[in-house]
């Protein structure tokens, strides 16, 4: 756990994962005592938590059909970061995913005029942009 200014990072040993501001205090409180402990089900030794939440709810006799998939939550977050324009290297660094090729279809689509304007800028010949 690393706290720098107003930003809380979890898992500083192998990679840095920024924590959303809404959850920063909760994550910081959970890390008191053992900063390298797992935040989900602390005290466990294995890393795999894919079915842990649904299994726990099933033991309690709760309906597990509405339990969110941790994998889908991560995918949703990655797509949000891509659509915000974050560089692949930064997304890879904070998610631990080496390649983002499978997310290519979620990248913003550019019009022909956008591509021409960008090519002109790269060539050192800026064109006047106009709204269409």
The residue ranges of DSSP E strands in 1-117, in sequence order, are 2-4, 7-10, 17-18
Does the model's pTM come out above 0.85?
A: no
**Residue 99: half-sphere exposure toward Cβ, Cα within 13 Å:** 2
Cα–Cα nearest to 31, from 42, 21, 47, 19: 42
Which pLDDT score is estimated for 53?
67
Give whichever of 21-30, 75-84, 122-131 has the largest mean pLDDT. 75-84
Which pLDDT score is estimated for 24?
79
Which pLDDT score is estimated for 46?
65
Task: Name the residue with tokens 């977050």.
Answer: 77
The residue ranges of DSSP E strands in 1-132, in sequence order, are 2-4, 7-10, 17-18
Which pLDDT score is estimated for 105?
92
State yes or no: pLDDT of 115 exceeds 70. Answer: yes
Average confidence score pLDDT of the chain: 75
pLDDT 10s digits, 16-41: 667 777 877 877 777 676 766 666 66
């Amino acid at each position: 756990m690393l706290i720098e200014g107003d930003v809380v990072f979890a898992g500083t040993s192998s990679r840095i994962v920024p924590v959303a501001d809404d959850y920063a205090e909760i994550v910081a409180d959970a890390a008191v005592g053992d900063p390298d402990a797992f935040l989900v089900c602390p005290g466990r030794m294995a890393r795999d938590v894919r079915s842990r939440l649904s299994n726990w709810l099933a033991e309690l006799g709760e309906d597990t059909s509405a339990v969110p998939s941790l994998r889908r939550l991560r995918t949703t977050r990655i797509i949000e970061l891509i659509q915000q324009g974050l560089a692949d290297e930064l997304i890879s660094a904070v998610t631990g995913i080496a390649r983002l090729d499978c997310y290519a279809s979620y990248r913003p689509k550019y019009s022909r005029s956008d591509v021409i304007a960008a090519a002109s800028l790269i060539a050192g010949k800026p064109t006047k942009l106009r709204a269409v």
